[in-house]
Amino acid sequence: MSTLARLLSPYISSTITSPRTRKLRRAVAEKRRRRLGAAHRVDYFHQIDDPYSHLAAQVLAKLVARYDIELKPHLVAPPPEDAAPDRPRLVAFSRKDASDIADAYGLEFDGDWIQPEPAFEELTLRLLAGAIRNDVFVDTAAAISRAMWRGNAEEVDRAAGGLASYDIEPAWALLEEGTRLRAKLGHYLGGMFYYGGEWYWGVDRLTHLENRLQELGALHATDGNPTTASATFIAPRPQFPDARSNQTKADRVQLEFYVSLRSPYSYIAMERVYDLASRFPVELVVRPVLPMVMRGLPVPREKRLYILQDTKREAEDAAVAFGRICDPVGEPVERAFSLYPYAREQGRACEYLLSFARAAFSQGVNTATNAGLRKVVTRAGLSWSEARRHLGSVEWNAELENNRQAMLDFGLWGVPSFRIVGQSGEGDFYTWGQDRIWLVERELRRRTGI
């Protein structure tokens, strides 16, 4: 990354992520909708073999009933290779993750379900294409999808309720059309909602979409009176009562936290994970890894842009400052890690990682320079004069590679990831994503009895 790019990056990113920019973008979209006399159109992109799409299909009827919207469903193919660089792990983890979160959202995904056979996928494709053609997708998609995941042909037929299916060729054509539209609008995943220029990922981001629709007055009244409309959400993210343990940590659980210094999601998770570890009788073990692009995994432009805007929304919910970014990819990350062993020796490893991430993702500090790195070090409560003697050390290389391999071994590849280890008779628990901190807390509560 050039010096000029690093200088401009904070201004560009802060403009893209600015609430003012978002408000203006939404106002333009709403003005256009009103001028055309169009409905509030929500496009939904369903990937047949995607567990998150199955979860999303279960909320479609509620979404249509609660909001004055026109929901337009589309069928899409799996994400392209550059957007899903470790597809076997993604496929396996998606099933596990959907099963882990489903009950908390009042939805269903059985952990024993396996990827559907091609014959079931083809049958489901034909039926869902027919459901779109007959305008009954919202009413039938969840039941058809469930029968497919259960691998029961008779149940698929019952779920379809006599629905005429498409022939396979026009069904494939419909899927290709949806896939092209998704790419044109700027995304790559299944289970996605699109409204007025913004993307919302499945049930995990549904509250962001609902907030927007409610601000636009699209919430249906319960008795014909707009003032009595319920402002609750269909799939609010689970929360727990405040708790702080006084238990001793003699037989404590270990919480491993895998992070990258170039991951905005890692940054907005850090403070919440540190707080979580302080409230439970657990040992927090931070295990940094190199950024994906520095590990040879591609991150396409559409993915980078979506992550930037999505992180801003999630950061606002978490009350974390985010958006003034000076990308630390490459040498800045390597320089930062050369000081990591020193920071850990001083008992300030967590503070140092947070200081660096905050500088890179919310303060626009150019961490490629000594002046920028000095700010990181001193704000972490460390001595710059001592730290700079360690600049250029390669002591960290083996450790980060070991962390990466450990993460791959238990089935994950991205960050932030979490693994809970400990207590005899308990298997390891693992999950991925800053939006899974609630899931980590739920598991810690279960294991510690808090």
> Which of 193, 228, 263 corresponds to the end of one domain?
228
326 and 439 belong to one structural domain: yes
Tokens standing for residue 227: 């003032």
221 and 271 belong to one structural domain: no
The closest of 142, 121, 133, 143 to 165, measured between CA atoms, is: 133
Q: pLDDT tens for residues 148-201? A: 999 988 888 888 887 777 889 999 999 999 999 999 999 999 999 999 999 999
- Residue at 12 is within a domain: no
224 and 266 belong to one structural domain: no
Give pLDDT, residue 84: 85
Give pLDDT, residue 247: 64
- 401-426 mean pLDDT: 90
d(CA 121, CA 115): 9
Q: pLDDT tens for residues 330-359? A: 999 999 999 999 999 999 999 999 999 999
Give pLDDT, residue 369: 95
Domain coverage including residue 103: 36-228
- Residue at 237 is within a domain: no
210 and 257 belong to one structural domain: no
- 311-328 mean pLDDT: 97
Give pLDDT, residue 303: 87
Question: Whole-number mean pLDDT of the chain?
Answer: 92
The 10 Å Cβ neighbour count of residue 49 is 21
- Residue at 83 is within a domain: yes
- Residue at 325 is within a domain: yes
> Which of 167, 194, 228 corresponds to the end of one domain?
228
- The domain tally of the chain equals 2
Would you say 327 and 261 are in contact if contact means Cβ atoms under 8 Å apart? no
222 and 322 belong to one structural domain: no
Order of strands across the sheet that contains 40-47: 69-76, 40-47, 192-195, 198-201
Question: Taking 80 as the threshold, does the pLDDT of residue 121 lie above it?
Answer: yes
Q: How confident is the model at residue 112 (pLDDT cuts 50, 70, 90)?
A: very high
> Which of 193, 213, 228 corresponds to the end of one domain?
228
Q: pLDDT tens for residues 203-229? A: 999 999 999 999 999 998 754 455 545
Question: Taking 50 as the threshold, does the pLDDT of residue 250 lie above it?
Answer: no
d(CA 149, CA 162): 19
Give pLDDT, residue 223: 45
Give pLDDT, residue 298: 59
Question: Taking 50 as the threshold, does the pLDDT of residue 139 lie above it?
Answer: yes
Q: Residue 436, Cα to own-chain centre: how many angstroms?
A: 9
Tokens standing for residue 131: 């459901």
355 and 418 belong to one structural domain: yes
212 and 299 belong to one structural domain: no
Residues written for the chain: 450
Give pLDDT, residue 230: 59
Question: Taking 50 as the threshold, does the pLDDT of residue 55 lie above it?
Answer: yes
- Residue at 31 is within a domain: no
- Residue at 412 is within a domain: yes
φ/ψ of 299, rounded to 5, equals: -130, 100
202 and 348 belong to one structural domain: no
What is the model's pTM?
A: 0.94
262 and 189 belong to one structural domain: no
258 and 222 belong to one structural domain: no
Share of the chain above pLDDT 70, in %: 93
Q: Which residue has the tokens 């259960």?
A: 150
Residue 196 DSSP label:
T
φ/ψ of 89, rounded to 5, equals: -70, -40
212 and 282 belong to one structural domain: no
- 301-308 mean pLDDT: 89
Q: Which residue has the tokens 């403009």?
A: 15
Q: Residue 221 is part of a domain; what is its CATH number?
A: 3.40.30.10
Q: pLDDT tens for residues 348-388? A: 999 999 999 999 999 999 999 999 999 999 999 999 999 99
Q: How confident is the model at residue 432 (pLDDT cuts 50, 70, 90)?
A: very high
The 10 Å Cβ neighbour count of residue 117 is 11
- 277-302 mean pLDDT: 83
Pairing verdict, β 40-47 and 69-76: parallel
- 67-83 mean pLDDT: 95
Q: pLDDT tens for residues 235-244? A: 999 988 877 6
Tokens standing for residue 218: 């699209």
Give pLDDT, residue 229: 52
Q: Which residue has the tokens 């630390």?
A: 328
- Residue at 16 is within a domain: no
211 and 263 belong to one structural domain: no
Q: Position 327: which residue type?
A: D
Share of the chain above pLDDT 90, in %: 80
